[in-house]
Amino acid sequence: MAPDARNGNGHAVSSIFVTEAAFRAWYDVAMPRVYSYLFARVDGDAALAEELTQQSFVEAVASKTSFANRSEPTTWVIAIARHRLADHYRRHYRDQHRQNALVERASVGGGDPWQRAESFADVRNALSGIPGEQRVAFVLRVVDGLSVREVAAILRRSEDATESLLRRARISFDHLLEHPNDA
pLDDT of the residue at 38: 93
Please choose, from the candidates 25, 32, 120, 126, the residue with its C-alpha nearest in 3D space to the C-alpha of residue 77.
32
pLDDT digits (tens, 9 = 90+) for 96-105: 777 677 766 6
pLDDT range class, residue 21, cuts 50, 70, 90: very high
pLDDT range class, residue 71, cuts 50, 70, 90: confident
Q: How far apart are CA 121 and CA 41, in angstroms?
A: 25
Domain residue ranges of the chain, discontinuous segments joined by +: 3-92, 107-182
Phi, psi of 12 (to 5 degrees): -65, 145
Q: Which helix (H) or strand (E) is 133 found in, with range?
A: helix 132-138
Domain 3-92 and domain 107-182 have a common topology: no
Q: In this structure, which CATH number among 3.40.190.10, 3.30.540.10, 2.30.30.60, 1.10.10.10 belongs to the domain 107-182?
A: 1.10.10.10
pTM over 0.85: no
pLDDT digits (tens, 9 = 90+) for 119-167: 777 887 888 888 888 888 888 888 778 899 988 988 889 999 999 999 9
DSSP-assigned letters across all residues of the chain: --GGGB-SSS-BHHHHTTSHHHHHHHHHHHHHHHHHHHHTTTTT-HHHHHHHHHHHHHHHHHTGGG--SSS-HHHHHHHHHHHHHHHHHHHHHHHHHHHHHHHHHHT-STT-HHHHHHHHHHHHHHHHHS-HHHHHHHIIIIIS---HHHHHHHHT--HHHHHHHHHHHHHHHHHHHH-GGG-
Q: In this structure, which CATH number among 3.30.1490.190, 1.10.1740.10, 3.40.50.150, 3.30.559.30 belongs to the domain 3-92?
A: 1.10.1740.10
By percentage, how much of the chain surpasses pLDDT 90?
35
